[in-house]
């Protein structure tokens, strides 16, 4: 009779330190011990006092011994072991080849966040890898069935990042496809309509933060919870002007790859253009008279007096968040950023020296049929005109009046009629014949290099402007003209150099007449007065007497802009853009700085399987600098209308392998809800595989 060979047996013994009661190791009523015995049916496990022995197959005995070692490591941290934790530890030890060297103790003792005596930590190996990926990568996709902790762990990491000041705000969003993103047919207010879709996010927040602090954080914009449909609408009307290196263009005409101007004055490419359909539009005005149009969700970089005093960073707020909150006592609450350097337009040649053009626009007479003339009490300016314009000679007509004559040449002796070089250049610029009330700065000068623009402005200020000193205050600059066009052009020059300008009108009617050669001269046109502040390092004057006064008064101080009003402006077709600038800012109408992307934010898109491909692209390209995105979803539970492809399914084919993007995939073994949920998930997967789905 052949006998079956006896399987080799092994025995291991280990002692539980006296400081750990055996009930913490074996569980109440030996519940943990029963889990271990069930997992290793061929192994005899005996407990005597504080000593545990295991006898059985060598491989199983080794695993049991390692299991108790890992349990002791967990217990030493003060964390209790549960039946689920023991089961997951056994699974990790059996799959050690796939664990990458990570032990159950490392997984079970990784703390993410603690609140009110409760600690949030990963419970499975895949969950730990998911959490680690969030630390290491900018964009992380958490894909897996319900109950695997995808959203909950992402929320915990978001709160951790906010509390450690890694980010300034948390943005939580999910698509509301159950209502087709058309919420109007539901009863109640807007918030009552969207609450059912956002409730899981609110519930998770209340687990992780003091409930009393949540309304305050949401009111301050530190935490934003909104449906994806409202996340995308940060837009301008399509006709809103945006500054490019060649001048202004409607935002609706921009395409990906086009260049716009950033806050540093340099060109920055457009990375995305997203039509938004009709939106409610608001007019946002600053105290200097500048304004632009945008929707209620449009983003603005702002800071308050308290932010500045406490050296806090600039914050990002939506237009609608600031409505009704624009004043703090009698101060304007929100300061806007200003260009940090002059705009860098494309440089090109001009027919007249820019400083000389500014002087002529100020004190020159450039009538069509007459020889150009110039009126000034400063010989320094006469010399400047002669030096800057070739082939001319300035001749005194007595007093402060001068003619700008053409220099005679040999051709004059032959009777050849030569064109006046200055008149020829003025004709080319369409300025010849302009009156004081119709003068303007040609576009060739408005959209040229910073040096050209500053030289034109200096010429205008040396003639019709000047420093205004104020007791105990920095010096401001004042400019006066009767030309509305020239007023607007001077404001544009100032703003393009990083300054601010305020304008007011002095009506001609009712003003005392002037005196010329002993007779009254009535004012026929309103005067436009522009008060100017330029940034440090930008010299407004070349004329010595004005420059000395300006410098002696300490210069012009720091230009500042504040939001003055936000008013409804109807409904318009709108579009938003994303730019590549580091701070995401670009220059819109009146040289206001604004942006659409989200900097310094932790952004979570939940239920992402219910986004369309277009929505997913829109969401991901909103990523700003020093931000992090986590996208969670279950591709087996798609509720999109028939024929609409899930953006979460498609994005795996597009972004898999892209640097700094990580896909974390969780399975039924990572379900941390009722054990039955994992079994249900497995049953459905088996059914789908049999059906060929």
pLDDT in tens, 659-680: 999 999 998 888 876 666 666 7
Of residues 22 and 159, the one with the higher pLDDT is 159
Structural domain contains residue 140: yes
* Same domain flag for 578 and 527: no
Please compute the mean of the pLDDT values over residues 521-527 and round it to a whole number: 80
Tell me the CA distances in angstroms from 13 to 65, 69, 178, 396, one per residue in order: 8, 11, 58, 115
The three-state secondary structure class of 31 is helix
What does the alpha-carbon distance between residue 125 and residue 575 come to, in Å, rounded to a whole number? 44
- Residues 614 and 662 grouped into a single domain: yes
Residue 188 has pLDDT above 60, yes or no: no
pTM (two decimals):
0.66
Mean pLDDT rounded to a whole number for the chain:
85
pLDDT at 231: 55
Q: What span, in angstroms and rounded, lies between the C-alpha atoms of 671 and 87? A: 12
- Does the CA dihedral 225-580-664-628 come out positive or negative? negative
- Residue 271's pLDDT is what? 78
Query: Distance (Å, rounded) from C-alpha 244 to C-alpha 241?
Result: 9
pLDDT(6) > 80: no
| Structure-block tokens of residue 255 | 């395409």
Q: Which of 24-38, 52-66, 225-239, 483-497 has the lowest mean pLDDT?
A: 225-239
pLDDT for the residue 165:
86
Q: Looking at the predicted structure, is the pLDDT value of residue 477 above 80?
A: yes
Q: Give the count of beta carbons closer than 10 Å to the beta carbon of residue 692.
A: 5
**What average pLDDT score do residues 276-291 get?**
92
Whether 25 and 91 map to the same domain: the answer is yes
What's the CATH number where 67 sits? 3.30.1370.10
* Whether residue 200 sits in one domain with residue 147: yes
Each residue of 9-21: b (16+ CB within 10 Å) or e?
Answer: eeebeeebeeeee
Q: Are residues 439 and 534 in the same domain?
A: yes
Is residue 126, in this structure, part of any structural domain at all? yes
Kindly state the DSSP code that residue 262 receives in the 8-state scheme: B
Half-sphere exposure (Cβ direction) of 71: Cα atoms closer than 13 Å:
31
Q: Considering the domain boundaries, does residue 346 fall inside one?
A: no
Of 54, 79, 109, the last residue of a domain is: 109
Co-location of 420 and 539 in the same domain: yes
Q: At 176, is the pLDDT very low, low, confident or very high (cuts 50, 70, 90)?
A: low
Predicted pLDDT of residue 205:
84
pLDDT in tens, 57-84: 888 888 888 888 888 888 887 778 888 8
Q: What is the CATH number of the domain that holds 579?
A: 2.170.16.10
Q: Both 430 and 529 in a single domain?
A: yes
- Give 53's contacts (C-beta < 8 A, 6+ positions apart): 11, 12, 13, 45, 46
Radius of gyration of the chain measured on its C-alpha atoms: 37
Taking residues 223-244, report their average pLDDT: 78
Residue 138 confidence (pLDDT) above 90 = yes
Distance CA 355, CA 458 (A): 7
Local confidence band at 7 (pLDDT 50, 70, 90 cut-offs): low
Better pLDDT: 190 or 299: 299
Total domain count, the chain: 4
Residue 389 lies in a domain: no
Measured CA distances, 152 to 109, 499, 646, 649 (Å) = 17, 47, 22, 21
Same domain, 424 and 530: yes
Q: Does 314 lie in the same domain as 280? A: yes
Q: Higher-confidence residue: 554 or 335?
A: 335
DSSP codes, 530-552: EEEE--TT-----SHHHHHHHHH
Does the residue 536 lie in any domain? yes
CATH of the domain at 460: 3.10.28.10
- Amino acid 227: pLDDT: 67
Six token digits for residue 273: 């253009």
pLDDT confidence of residue 328? 87
Is 78 contained in some domain?
yes
187 band by pLDDT with thresholds 50, 70 and 90: very low
Final residue in a domain of this structure, among 92, 109, 126:
109
Structure tokens at 627: 């931000």
Q: Are residues 135 and 194 in the same domain?
A: yes
Report the pLDDT value the prediction gives residue 180, as an integer from 0 to 100: 43
DSSP secondary structure letter of residue 5: P
Backbone angles phi, psi at 174, to 5 degrees: -155, 150
User: Does residue 66 lie in a domain region?
Assistant: yes
Tally helices (H) and strands (E) across the chain: 23, 35
Q: Would the pLDDT of 457 be above 90? A: yes
**C-alpha to C-alpha distance for 73 and 97, rounded to whole angstroms:** 21
Domain, as residue range, for 667: 112-228+599-693
Contact criterion met (CB below 8 Å) for 201 and 174: yes
Q: Cα 165 to the chain's mean position, in Å?
A: 17
Q: Of residues 131 and 104, which shows the higher confidence score?
A: 131
Q: Do the Cβ atoms of 312 and 303 come closer than 8 Å?
A: yes
Indicate whether 652 and 585 sit together in one domain.
no
Pair 414, 464 in one domain: yes
Q: Is residue 283's pLDDT more than 70?
A: yes
Lowest mean pLDDT: which of 54-58, 434-438, 522-526? Answer: 522-526
d(Cα 121, Cα 435) in Å, to the nearest integer?
76
290-318 mean pLDDT? 87
Question: pLDDT tens-digit profile of 372-431?
Answer: 999 999 999 999 999 999 988 999 988 889 999 988 765 555 555 567 889 999 999 999
Per cent of the chain over pLDDT 70 is 88
Last residue of one domain, picked from the residues 109, 128, 150: 109
The CATH number of whichever domain residue 688 belongs to comes to 3.40.50.300
- pLDDT of residue 178 exceeding 70: no
The reply to whether 384 falls in a domain is no
Which residues have a Cβ under 8 Å from the Cβ of 189 and sit 6 or more positions away? Answer: none
The dihedrals phi and psi of 597, each to the nearest 5 degrees, come to: -90, 170
């Amino acid at each position: 009779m052949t006998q079956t060979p006896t399987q080799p047996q092994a025995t291991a013994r280990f002692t539980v330190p006296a400081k750990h009661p055996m009930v913490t190791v074996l569980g109440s009523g030996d519940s943990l011990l029963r889990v271990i015995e069930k997992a290793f049916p061929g192994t005899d496990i005996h407990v005597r006092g504080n000593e545990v022995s295991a006898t059985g197959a060598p491989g199983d005995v080794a695993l049991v011994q390692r299991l108790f070692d890992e349990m002791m490591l967990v217990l030493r941290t003060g964390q209790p072991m549960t039946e689920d934790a023991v089961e997951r530890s056994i699974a990790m030890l059996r799959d050690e080849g796939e664990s990458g060297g990570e032990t159950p103790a490392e997984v079970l003792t990784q703390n993410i966040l603690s609140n009110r005596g409760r600690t949030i930590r990963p419970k499975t190996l895949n969950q730990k890898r998911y959490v680690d990926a969030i630390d290491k990568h900018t964009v992380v996709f958490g894909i897996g069935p319900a109950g695997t902790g995808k959203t909950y762990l992402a929320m915990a990491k978001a709160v951790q990042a906010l509390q450690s000041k890694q980010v300034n705000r948390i943005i939580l969003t999910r698509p509301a496809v159950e209502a087709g993103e058309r919420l109007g047919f539901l009863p109640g207010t807007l918030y009552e309509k969207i609450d059912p879709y956002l409730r899981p996010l609110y519930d998770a927040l209340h687990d992780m933060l003091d409930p009393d602090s949540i309304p305050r954080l949401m009111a301050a914009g530190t935490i934003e919870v909104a449906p994806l449909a409202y996340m995308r609408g940060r837009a301008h009307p399509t006709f809103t002007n945006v500054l490019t290196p060649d001048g202004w263009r409607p935002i609706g005409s921009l395409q990906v790859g086009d260049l716009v101007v950033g806050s540093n004055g340099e060109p920055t490419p457009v990375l995305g253009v997203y039509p938004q359909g009709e939106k409610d539009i608001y007019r946002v005005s600053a105290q200097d008279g500048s304004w632009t149009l945008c929707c209620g969700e449009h983003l603005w970089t702002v800071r308050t007096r308290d932010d500045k005093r406490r050296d806090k960073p600039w914050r990002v707020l939506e237009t609608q968040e600031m409505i009704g909150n624009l004043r703090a006592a009698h101060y304007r609450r929100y300061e806007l950023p200003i260009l940090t350097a002059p705009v860098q337009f494309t440089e090109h040649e001009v027919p007249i020296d820019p400083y000389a053009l500014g002087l002529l626009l100020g004190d020159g007479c450039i009538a069509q049929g007459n020889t150009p003339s110039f009126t000034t009490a400063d010989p320094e300016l006469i010399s400047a005109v002669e030096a800057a314009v070739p082939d001319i000679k300035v001749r005194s007509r007595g007093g402060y009046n001068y003619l700008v004559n053409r220099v005679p040449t040999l051709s004059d002796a032959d009777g050849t009629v030569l064109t006046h070089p200055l008149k020829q250049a003025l004709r080319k610029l369409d300025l010849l014949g302009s009156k004081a009330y119709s003068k303007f700065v040609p576009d060739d000068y408005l959209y040229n290099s910073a040096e050209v623009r500053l030289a034109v402005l200096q010429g205008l200020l040396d003639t019709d402007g000047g420093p205004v000193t104020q007791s105990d205050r920095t010096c401001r600059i004042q400019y006066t003209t009767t030309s509305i066009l020239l007023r607007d052009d001077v404001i544009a020059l100032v703003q393009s150099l990083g300054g601010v300008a305020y304008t007011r009108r002095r009506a001609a009617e009712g003003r005392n007449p002037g005196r010329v050669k002993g007779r009254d001269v009535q004012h026929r046109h309103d005067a436009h007065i522009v008060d100017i502040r330029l940034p440090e390092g930008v010299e407004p004057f070349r004329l010595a007497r004005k420059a000395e006064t300006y410098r002696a008064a300490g210069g012009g101080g720091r230009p500042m802009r504040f939001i003055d009003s936000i008013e409804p402006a109807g409904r318009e077709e709108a579009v938003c853009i994303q730019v590549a600038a580091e701070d995401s800012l670009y220059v819109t109408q009146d040289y206001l700085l604004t942006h659409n992307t989200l900097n310094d934010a932790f952004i979570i898109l939940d239920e992402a399987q219910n986004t369309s491909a277009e929505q997913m692209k829109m969401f991901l390209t909103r990523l700003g600098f020093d931000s992090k995105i986590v996208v969670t979803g279950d591709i087996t539970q798609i509720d999109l209308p028939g024929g609409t492809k899930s953006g979460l399914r498609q994005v795996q084919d597009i972004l898999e392998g892209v640097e700094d993007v990580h896909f974390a995939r969780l399975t039924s073994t990572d379900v941390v809800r009722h054990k039955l949920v994992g079994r249900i998930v497995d049953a459905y997967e088996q059914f789908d595989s049999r059906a060929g789905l």
